[in-house]
Each structure stands twice: as structure tokens, then as C-alpha cells.
């Protein structure tokens, strides 16, 4: 991999400001999903390395939380600037290990950095309250203090942004941090550690432990009484296990789990805008995002016109490796992901779905690519409507009635993102309020930014990332009662 700044390509663990091998000296391989080529080997951290990182975060905590909010804000601002200064290199690292097209990878770097910028600003707005007392000899005050040592576990689909949007509010609040990136994509996290050091984040405040035994690292984090909080982004199944593990030490948790996003197009929608919105919400990162549209509901009056427009938009998509310019869709993360998408499609077709369109792919460097695919006549009981597809597949159902569409959209355990298109203002409010989701895109397919609260309800988890609410997840409320004032 060629970078302007080769020091960003690190392969060791970053603990207490030191780059070091795993305690076992073991390493594991990182491969490029576009051609299955070996990129490099990375230190294979495990339980002991995690405990060392937690110890360093604990000893760095008193000095970091004693800094003024302004001092922390200046350091975080510098981290943000360094991310943007190194945007091209960070994007190259990201797309090489993860597969997303280079332009999309650059977008993710700017998106991740925007959380660091936002929370550098929010650090100065940690405020308490004075409460009217029940008697005149008392004064009641509320202050907010950092939660303490925070650990994070993040997925491969946004190797930069999922980490940045946890580390930034944690550090802004005065917490110290131990990150465990996904084992497919640790290089982006290690590159962030290089820039953290350069930005002046003190040793022990931000640590990275990567490793192939995620269960061992997770267990060390959840068992440790020194860890005050676990912030997790990933699948609902793993999130549930980690929640149970955190119960033994009653840790605070934030859980950003899987989604099953509905996308409803009403007869009164602007059809072109709805197709553009669906293309954005479905095909980003080859369909591998938690807010990707999973189930499409189209009202009967515009159904044929919508399917026709959607098919021609899908025909324009270009699939290929990240390095090729003008590519819209890269490979899926690995072969298992391709097999899972194929199984969902085969099972849907066996149960009556119709393969309305599937692109033909040329020979690629690996067999991890999947063609854009359109399924119609899909039914709610099919696995493709219940599981996250995590691939470039659109699964469409037809509906007649608004109430039925909303009920069908809500008929899932997930509650992360939902989308709908209408030009009727009353329907906008009615449906917006009725959808049981943490995020609702109305006439919009791209909903995530640092200013807005990102997070789910139901089994998509809890906690909010970004926005003025995002700092609260990393702050404790303390009530001070001052008596004897009579
Ligand atoms: P995953 O299997 O749950 O993995 C996520 C992270 O958890 C990885 O770092 C993984 O490490 C780690 N992990 C796996 N098993 C573990 C265990 N037993 N103990 C501790 N850590 C463990 O999810 P994924 O397939 O990588 O990511 C896709 C999922 O993330 C989808 O469900 C998607 O919807 C969800 N997601 C949610 C959001 C959100 O904000 N709500 C955002 C992005 C993605 P290894 O990689 O080393 O196994």
C-alpha cells in the first residue's frame, strides 16, 4: 500500500502511548477483500493486552479529567485537523482493508472527523443545574462528571467513523478509552492512534487493542471492575451477549445494534426523488450499513412506474475494486457474506419472490463481489425481510393502504432507521410519529451527520451518538445537596 505518510500504517497495539507486540507475540493476517491479497500482519492482542490497556487508561484518567474542557477541546480539534490533513491516506488504508470505493472511503474519513470536530466544540458545553430546594436552608445542585474508563468494540463496515464517534465524545467528556476494532479492519483504528499521539492526546488516554479472539478481548473488558462503560456497535446477537456480560459489574453500556430499515413510497411521492433516496440508502457500502434499506414497500398506484425507474437506476451502477475510479459498489467484506446474501435470495425465490433484475459481473480479482439485484413479489414472512441483507439487493413489496404499510414496517424487532416518501404534510407527521424507529428519513435517504442523534429503539439498542445528546452517554449526573444554610 502506498501512502504519502507511511507512518500511518501501523501493525502493533497502541497501549499507554507505546507501540507494542501482543503479549503472546502472535500476529494475524489482514487481507484486501477486492483481491484477497495479503496486506500485512497485525499484532494479535488478547486478554492480557486488554488488561494492560485498561490499566493504562485508568492511570491516565485523573490527569485527563482534570484538564479544563477548553484544554481537551483544543487537543480534540487538533486531532480533527490531522484526520482531515491525512484524509487521502486514511481513505486508502480504509478502502484497502474494507473494500469500499475510494470516494466513499474519503467520505467516511470526513464523516468520522466531523464527530471529532463536533465533540471538540461540545466539550465546552458540559453544564449542570441549580434546582429549587424544598426548604430555604438547602441548595440543590447538579454537576456532570466523566463516566471514567470507557471501552469500545466496533464493526468492520465503518472502521473509522464508528470508532471516531465513540472516542470523540468520551474524550471530550474527560473519559479515557480502550478501542477494540473489528479483526477484518484494524488498520484504520491504528492510524487514528498515530494521529491521536501527534495531536497531543496523552499516553494512556486513547489505546487500541486489536486481535482475532474478540471473545477474549470482550471478556477482559466486561469483567474488569476498572472499566466503567462499554460502548458497542455491531450485531444484535453479539450485543445481547455483551450486555449480559456487563451485568456482572453493572457497567453502563451503549448499544448500536442491527437494523431492518423499511422504505415506504406512497402514491403521492415525488417518484424520482424516492428512487434517488432509495439508491442512496440501499447501495452505500455495497448495502453493508446498519441503516441500509432492507424492505421496500411501494403503493399500488405508482408501483409499475417506480419499479421501471428503479431498474434503470440500478443498471447504471458500476461494480469493481475500490481503486477504480467511478466505481459505485465494491466487494462484500468476505466470501461468507456473499454466500449469506445468495442464501437469502435463493430462499426468497423458492418462496415466490421474482428475480426482476440482476447485473452481470465481469471477472474480478476476488469472488467477494455481488451484483446489484432487484427482487419483487417479496413477502413479509421471507428471511430476506427479517434478516439484515447486508448486500446490494432490493426486496420490494406492494401495498394499498397507509395503515397496513406502517404496521408492516413496524413488524420487526429492529428499530434503527426507517424512510418514507410522500408530499402530503399531514401524512408526513402521521407516519413520522407512527414509525417505531430511532431515525426516520422523510423524503431523504441520507440521514446521518454529527449534529443529529444517531441510535435505535427496540432490539436495535439504546444510546445516541452525535448531536447535543451524544455527550450524555459519557457523563454521570451527580447531585450535590448543600445544607445548613439557615
Ligand atoms: P459483529 O459480528 O457483532 O462484530 C462487531 C464487533 O464485535 C467486531 O469488533 C467483532 O470482533 C466483535 N465481536 C464479535 N463477537 C464478539 C464477542 N463474542 N465478544 C466481543 N466482541 C465480539 O457485527 P459485524 O457483522 O462485524 O457488523 C455488522 C453489524 O453491525 C450489523 O448487524 C450492523 O447492523 C451493525 N451495525 C450497527 C450500527 C449502529 O450504529 N446501530 C452501525 C454499524 C453496524 P471481530 O471482528 O474481531 O470478530
| pLDDT of amino acid 343 | 98
Please tell me if the CB atom of residue 49 comes closer than 6 angstroms to any atom of ligand 1. Answer: no
Which residues have C-beta within 8 Å of that of residue 228, sequence separation ≥ 6?
A: 147, 148, 149, 150, 175, 251, 252
pLDDT confidence bin for 486, thresholds 50/70/90: confident
Q: Is 99 in the pocket of ligand 1 (CB under 6 A)?
A: no
184 touches 134 (CB < 8 A): no
Q: What is the pTM of this model?
A: 0.98
Q: Ligand 1: distance of its center to the CA of 104 in Å?
A: 21
CB-side exposure of 326: number of CA atoms within 13 Å?
3
Q: Does pLDDT of 111 surpass 90?
A: yes
- Ligand 1, atom 18: nearest CA belongs to which residue? 215
Contact predicate 474/144, CB 8 Å: no
The pLDDT tens digits for 365-409 are 899 999 999 999 999 999 999 999 999 999 999 999 999 999 999
Q: How far apart are CA 165 and CA 234, in angstroms?
A: 14
CA of 376 from ligand 1 middle (Å) equals 30
First-to-final CA distance of the chain = 71
Instruction: Answer yes or no: is the C-beta of 163 below 6 A from any ligand 1 atom.
Output: no
Domains of the chain: 6-257+460-479 (3.40.605.10), 261-449 (3.40.309.10)
| 89 pLDDT tier (thresholds 50, 70, 90) | very high
Quickly state the pLDDT bin for 188 (edges 50, 70, 90): very high
258 lines ligand 1 (CB under 6 A): yes
Q: What are phi and psi of 229, to 5 degrees?
A: -150, 145
The pLDDT of residue 414 = 98
What would the pLDDT profile of 307-331 be if each residue is shown by its tens digit?
A: 999 999 999 999 999 888 889 999 9
Mean pLDDT of 32-41: 97
Ligand 1 atom with the smallest distance to the CA of 239 is 3
Mean per-residue pLDDT for 82-87? 98
Confidence at residue 325, expressed as pLDDT on a 0 to 100 scale:
84
Q: What is the pLDDT of residue 323?
A: 85
Closest protein CA for atom 17 of ligand 1: 215
In 3D space, the residue among 258, 264, 257 whose CA is nearest the CA of residue 407 turns out to be: 264
Q: 293 - beta bridge partners?
A: 261
Residue 56 has pLDDT above 90, yes or no: yes
Mean pLDDT, rounded, of the chain: 98
What span, in angstroms and rounded, lies between the C-alpha atoms of 354 and 311? Answer: 14
Q: How far is the CA of 347 from the centre of ligand 1 (A)?
A: 25
The answer, yes or no, to whether any atom of ligand 1 lies below 6 A from the CB of 238, is yes
| The ligand 1 atom nearest the CA atom of 236 | 32
Q: What is the Å distance from ligand 1's center to 180 Cα?
A: 11
As a whole number, mean pLDDT of residues 28-51 equals 98
Mean pLDDT of 213-217: 98
Q: Cβ distance 459 to 413 under 8 Å? A: yes
List the beta bridge partners of residue 299: 399
Catalytic residues: 256, 290
Is the pLDDT at 58 greater than 90? The verdict is yes
Average pLDDT over residues 51-60: 98
Cα within 13 Å of Cα(123), Cβ side: 28
Determine if ligand 1 sits within 6 Å of the CB of residue 197: no
The residue-averaged pLDDT of 459-471 equals: 98
List, for residues 430-457, the tens digit of each pLDDT value: 999 999 999 999 999 999 999 999 999 9
Three-class secondary structure assignment of the chain: CCCCCHHHCCCCEEECCEEECCCCCCEEEEECCCCCCEEEEEECCCHHHHHHHHHHHHHHHHHHHHCCHHHHHHHHHHHHHHHHHCHHHHHHHHHHHHCCCHHHHHHHHHHHHHHHHHHHHHHHHCCCEEECCCCCCCEEEEEEEECCEEEEECCCCCCCHHHHHHHHHHHHHCCEEEEECCCCCCHHHHHHHHHHHHHCCCCCCEEECCCCCHHHHHHHHHHCCCCCEEEEECCHHHHHHHHHHHHCCCCEEEEECCCCEEEEECCCCCHHHHHHHHHHHHHHHHHCCCCCEEEEEEEHHHHHHHHHHHHHHHHCCCECCCCCCCCCECCCCCHHHHHHHHHHHHHHHHCCCEEEEECCCCCCCCCCCCCCEEEECCCCCCHHHHCCCCCCEEEEEEECCHHHHHHHHHCCCCCCEEEEECCCHHHHHHHHHHCCCCEEEECCCCCCCCCCCECCCHHHEECCECCCCHHHHHEEEEEEEECCCC
- For 221-254, the pLDDT digits (tens) are 999 999 999 999 999 999 999 999 999 999 999 9
How many angstroms separate the alpha carbon of residue 224 from the centre of ligand 1? 21
Amino acid at each position: 500500500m502506498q501512502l504519502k505518510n507511511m507512518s500511518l500504517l501501523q501493525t502493533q497495539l497502541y497501549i499507554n502511548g507505546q507501540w507494542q507486540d501482543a503479549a503472546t507475540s502472535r500476529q494475524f493476517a489482514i487481507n484486501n477483500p477486492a483481491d484477497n491479497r495479503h496486506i500485512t500482519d497485525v499484532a494479535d492482542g488478547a486478554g492480557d493486552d486488554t488488561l494492560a490497556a485498561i490499566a493504562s487508561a485508568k492511570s491516565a484518567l485523573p490527569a485527563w479529567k482534570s484538564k479544563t474542557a477548553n484544554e481537551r477541546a483544543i487537543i480534540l480539534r487538533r486531532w480533527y485537523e490531522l484526520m482531515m490533513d491525512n484524509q487521502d491516506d486514511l481513505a486508502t488504508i480504509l478502502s484497502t482493508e474494507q473494500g469500499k470505493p475510494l470516494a466513499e472511503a474519503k467520505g467516511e474519513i470526513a464523516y468520522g472527523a466531523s464527530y471529532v470536530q463536533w465533540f471538540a466544540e461540545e466539550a465546552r458545553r458540559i453544564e449542570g443545574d441549580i434546582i429549587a430546594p424544598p426548604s430555604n436552608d438547602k441548595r440543590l445542585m447538579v454537576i456532570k462528571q466523566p463516566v471514567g474508563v470507557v471501552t469500545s468494540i466496533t464493526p468492520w463496515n465503518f472502521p473509522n467513523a464508528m470508532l471516531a464517534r465513540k472516542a470523540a465524545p468520551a474524550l471530550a467528556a474527560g473519559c479515557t478509552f480502550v478501542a477494540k476494532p473489528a479483526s477484518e479492519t484494524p488498520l484504520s483504528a491504528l492510524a487514528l492512534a498515530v494521529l491521536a499521539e501527534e495531536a497531543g492526546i496523552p499516553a494512556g488516554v486513547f489505546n487500541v487493542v486489536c486481535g482475532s479472539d474478540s471473545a477474549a478481548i470482550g471478556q477482559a473488558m466486561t469483567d474488569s471492575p476498572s472499566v466503567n462503560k462499554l460502548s458497542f456497535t455491531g450485531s444484535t446477537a453479539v450485543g445481547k451477549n455483551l450486555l449480559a456480560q456487563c451485568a456482572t459489574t453493572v457497567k453502563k453500556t451503549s448499544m448500536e445494534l442491527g437494523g431492518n430499515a423499511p422504505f415506504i413510497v406512497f402514491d403521492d411521492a415525488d417518484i424520482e426523488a424516492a428512487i434517488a433516496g432509495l439508491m442512496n440508502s440501499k447501495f452505500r457500502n455495497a448495502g453493508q450499513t446498519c441503516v441500509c434499506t432492507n424492505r421496500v414497500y411501494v403503493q399500488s398506484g405508482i408501483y409499475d412506474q417506480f419499479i421501471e425507474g428503479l431498474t434503470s437506476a440500478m443498471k447504471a451502477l458500476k461494480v469493481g475494486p475500490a481503486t477504480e475510479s467511478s466505481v459505485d459498489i465494491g466487494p462484500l467484506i468476505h466470501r461468507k457474506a456473499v454466500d449469506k446474501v445468495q442464501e437469502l435470495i435463493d430462499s426468497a425465490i423458492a418462496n415466490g419472490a421474482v428475480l426482476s433484475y440482476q447485473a452481470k459481473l465481469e471477472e474480478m480479482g476476488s469472488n467477494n463481489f455481488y451484483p446489484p439485484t432487484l427482487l419483487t413479489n417479496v413477502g413479509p414472512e421471507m428471511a430476506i425481510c427479517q434478516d439484515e441483507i447486508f448486500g446490494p439487493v432490493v426486496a420490494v413489496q406492494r401495498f394499498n393502504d397507509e395503515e397496513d404499510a406502517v404496521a408492516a414496517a413496524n413488524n420487526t424487532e429492529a428499530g434503527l432507521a426507517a424512510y418514507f416518501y410522500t408530499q402530503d404534510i399531514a401524512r408526513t407527521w402521521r407516519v413520522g410519529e407512527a414509525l417505531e424507529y430511532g431515525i426516520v428519513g422523510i423524503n431523504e435517504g441520507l440521514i446521518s451527520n454529527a449534529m443529529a442523534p444517531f441510535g435505535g429503539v427496540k432490539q436495535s439498542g439504546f444510546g445516541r451518538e452525535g448531536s447535543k445528546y451524544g455527550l450524555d452517554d459519557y457523563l454521570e449526573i451527580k447531585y450535590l445537596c448543600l445544607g445548613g444554610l439557615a
